[in-house]
Structure 1
Amino acid sequence: MMPSYFFAHGAPSIVLDRNKYTDFLGQFAANTTKPKAIVLFSAHWEQSTQTVSAVDAYSTIYDFGGFQDELYQMTYPAKGERSLSEQIHALFAKNGVQSVLNEERGLDHGAWSILKLLYPNVDIPVVALSVNRYLSNEQQYQIGKALAELREQDILIIGSGGTVHNLRKVKWYEEGIDEWAESFDNWLQSKLEAWDLDALFHYRELAPCAGEAVPTNEHFIPLLLAMGAGDRGRQAKLLHRSYELGNLSLSCWQFN
């Protein structure tokens, strides 16, 4: 069965960077089975109703400003797969999740920046999915769980976001890792590895430095979605964790 994964996407310029995390992402495909299709929840596509892309081919969305000119020339012209979009739509309905299809939206940088590093050949169909910051953490998990059977079809489910993602706290010109960021991530690691859902659903009250690490939850949600997709096996494994800009967490979690 194909695992599900959470990937931090960091800053949009990640596709131009060379560091331990981008090296890890660049080797990912060589160390894993090639999926038949990719289903990706992006922190940068927020909708009040769960939305499922249903396009033939994606445009590239440059939903950021102030970065290198080279970044705005990049594309990731992935193909969609309408039959998979409709299957996801049906799975959501079966599990009590209201959803709609979207036939227009391209891939935002939360999707294409990671995909460009993981699968640069652009030879795997993609279905992009939105997130909703106003649902409970348990509801987020259940949305991911609704798609768990796709893993049996060699379909890769990805949540793209960030566990510690506070742009007001990043340090552009200082070295070192902030203790509060590591403290939160260490707590998170212990709860993920124990599959402690009660603690994870109440991380804001229980986790150290949660307010600093997760000032808004849209980047944290994809972790719960990817974890929910791994509910059948309930095994979590940290494949990589590093930091940039003092506290921006760059991590990858695998859920079996």
Structure 2
Amino acid sequence: MMPSLFLSHGTPLLALEKNSYTSFLKEYMKVMNKPTAIVILSAHWESKEQLISAVSKHEVIYDFAGFPEEIYQVTYPASGCLELSDKILTLLSKIGILGELDDRRPLDHGAWGLLHIMYPEADIPIVSLSISPDLPFAKQYEIGKVLGDLKKSNVLIIGSGGIVHNFNHIQEDMNVAEGWAISFEEWVEEKIMNWDMETLVNYEQMAPYSKDAVPTKEHFIPLVIAMGSGDDNKKPKLLHRTFQYGNLSLTAWQFD
């Protein structure tokens, strides 16, 4: 059965970078079975109501400014999958979430930045889902749990966010990781490996340096959803972790 993933998406420049993380993403896809479709939940698509993309062909949005011109040339013209969008709508209704289909939403950099690296041919249908930060973590986990049913149909579920992700703290010229960022990442790792959801979702009160690592929770929510999609087996695997700019973590988790 297809696993699900949590992947850090770093900065928009990740799509152009050549580093150990982008190399890992490329190599991992080579050994992984090719999915029939991908469902991706990006921290950069926030909405009060649950939205599900329902487009025939994806466009992209450059939801940032001030970067080199080359990044604005990246496109990702993958097709959508209306049948899958409808199925997700039905699955979410089972847990009391009345989603809405969105036939205009382009892919943001939290989605296309990763997909451009992983599947550059853009030949796999994509459905993106918004994230509602107002929902409690228990409900976010439920969303992942019902989406996990799609794995049986060879659908890859990706939560795209960041565990240590605070642009106010990044050090552009620093090539080693700061201790506080490592401490928070290792705390999260322990809770994931023990599947200690109760403690994990209370990271704000219980984790070291939580306010520095997670200033706003929209980048942490995709991790909880990805874990929910692995609820049946509860077999987490840390695939990769490096840091950029002193404290921006590039982390990949697999949930079977």
In the superposition, the TM-score normalised over structure 2's length comes to 0.99
Query: Which residue of the partner structure matches residue 7 of structure 1?
Result: 7
Query: Which residue of the partner structure matches residue 136 of structure 1?
Result: 136
**Residue correspondence of structure 1 range 106-185 to structure 2 within 5 A:** 106-185=106-185
**Residue correspondence of structure 1 range 174-213 to structure 2 within 5 A:** 174-213=174-213
Q: CA deviation at 1:27?
A: 1.1
Query: Which residue of the partner structure matches residue 54 of structure 1?
Result: 54
Paired residue secondary structure (1:33)? coil
Paired residue secondary structure (2:134)? coil
Query: Which residue of the partner structure matches residue 242 of structure 1?
Result: 242
Quick one: distance in 1 between partners of 2:125 and 2:15?
A: 20
* Alignment-mate amino acid for residue 30 of structure 1: K
* Alignment-mate amino acid for residue 250 of structure 1: L
Query: Which residue of the partner structure matches residue 70 of structure 1?
Result: 70
Matched, 1:227 2:227: yes
> Which string of whole-angstrom CA distances, capped at 9 and with x for unpartnered residues, describes residues 234-254 of structure 1?
111100000000000000000
> Which string of whole-angstrom CA distances, capped at 9 and with x for unpartnered residues, describes residues 167-202 of structure 1?
000001233211110000000000001101111121
* Alignment-mate amino acid for residue 12 of structure 1: P
Query: Which residue of the partner structure matches residue 42 of structure 2?
Result: 42
Query: Which residue of the partner structure matches residue 97 of structure 2?
Result: 97
* Alignment-mate amino acid for residue 10 of structure 2: G
> Which string of whole-angstrom CA distances, capped at 9 and with x for unpartnered residues, describes residues 82-129 of structure 1?
000000000001221221110011100000000010101111000000
Paired residue secondary structure (1:101)? strand
Paired residue secondary structure (1:79)? coil
Q: CA deviation at 1:137?
A: 1.3
Quick one: distance in 1 between partners of 2:216 and 2:186?
A: 19
Quick one: distance in 1 between partners of 2:97 and 2:180?
A: 36
CA contact 2:58–2:77 (8 Å) conserved in 1: yes
* Alignment-mate amino acid for residue 151 of structure 1: K
In the superposition, the TM-score normalised over structure 1's length comes to 0.99
Q: Note the residue ranges of structure 2 that are not aligned, 5 or more in a row.
A: none
Q: In percent, how many aligned pairs have the same letter? A: 48
Quick one: distance in 1 between partners of 2:236 and 2:85?
A: 27
Q: CA deviation at 1:11?
A: 0.4
Quick one: distance in 2 between partners of 1:16 and 1:213?
A: 25
> Which string of whole-angstrom CA distances, capped at 9 and with x for unpartnered residues, describes residues 175-234 of structure 1?
321111000000000000110111112111111111110000111110011111111011
CA contact 2:144–2:224 (8 Å) conserved in 1: yes
Quick one: distance in 2 between partners of 1:98 and 1:228?
A: 19
User: What count of residue pairs does the alignment treat as equivalent?
Assistant: 256
> Which string of whole-angstrom CA distances, capped at 9 and with x for unpartnered residues, describes residues 125-182 of structure 1?
0000000111111111111111111000000000000000000000012332111100
User: Which deviates more, 242-251 or 127-136?
Assistant: 127-136
* Alignment-mate amino acid for residue 128 of structure 1: S
Quick one: distance in 2 between partners of 1:134 and 1:169?
A: 25
Quick one: distance in 2 between partners of 1:84 and 1:96?
A: 19
Query: Which residue of the partner structure matches residue 19 of structure 2?
Result: 19
CA contact 2:54–2:127 (8 Å) conserved in 1: yes
Quick one: distance in 1 between partners of 2:39 and 2:7?
A: 13
Paired residue secondary structure (2:42)? strand
